[in-house]
Amino acid sequence: MSEYVRDTRIVYSESAKRYTDLVGTTVSSRFEAEQDRTVLRTFAEIAGPGAPVLDAGCGVGRVTRFLADAGLEPTGLDIASGMIDQAQTAHPDLRFATADLAHLPIADKTVKGVAYWYSIITTPPDHLNHIWDELRRVLTSTGVALIAFQSGAGEPCTRSKAYGTQTDLTLFRHRSEQVRDGLASRSLRIRSITTRQPIFDHEDSDQTFIIAER
């Protein structure tokens, strides 16, 4: 297991209860702007009613719940077992499992959509291609992807003893051009790229949302 994957697993597992208490278990106007929720709704509309989709890096299942309420059949995946425990407790009617974004426990060409809602931010820029390879593998021939992330010039931001744990965690503000090109190189057509400025107290960088289709 890569060091960055290990640190991500440790930090988010150990801070899962604290994270749940802070942000809650559903998408809300406290943490998602109307523009953000519109992007999620667009993703759901493209995937279509009843479509099997993944919430890749689901945390406590906030977006998984949103996608289910939008009429999809989501499965939430996360590297941190603590997050999965919180998600399953909050949403017992939904499916969750532990998984590495670069090694999805999903058969080839079996999901109509994959949402990465701020889940690539712990992956170094030069490792993103592993995620895109898995995305292409699991998507159907008419699949759709949504990627949301804090954007910048690819710079790292290390949080010492992240989220009250004893483990440091490095986050990355990815270049939107690199994410776009990585998707395009895997036969995904870019449908939209939208960026908004930080508006919430916890935001200190631009937020970018990319929707791409097979």
Report the alpha-carbon distance of residue 32 to residue 167 in Å, rounded.
27
- pLDDT attached to residue 162: 93
| CATH number of the domain bearing residue 118 | 3.40.50.150
Contact by Cβ (8 Å): 63, 40: yes
Task: Report CA-CA distances (Å) from 44 to 34, 54, 77, 135, 157.
Answer: 15, 11, 18, 17, 31
Report the alpha-carbon distance of residue 2 to residue 109 in Å, rounded.
26
Note down pLDDT in tens along the chain; length 214 residues: 789 999 999 999 999 999 999 999 999 999 999 999 999 999 999 999 999 999 999 999 999 999 999 999 999 999 999 999 999 999 999 999 999 999 999 999 999 999 999 999 999 999 999 999 999 999 999 999 999 999 999 999 999 999 899 999 999 999 999 999 999 999 999 999 999 999 998 898 999 999 999 9
Q: How many domains does the chain have?
A: 1
- pLDDT attached to residue 159: 93
Helix (H/G/I), strand (E/B), else coil: 16: helix
Q: How many CA atoms lie within 13 A of 53 on its CB side?
A: 35
- pLDDT attached to residue 1: 72
pTM: 0.96
The range of the structural domain enclosing residue 38 comes to 3-213
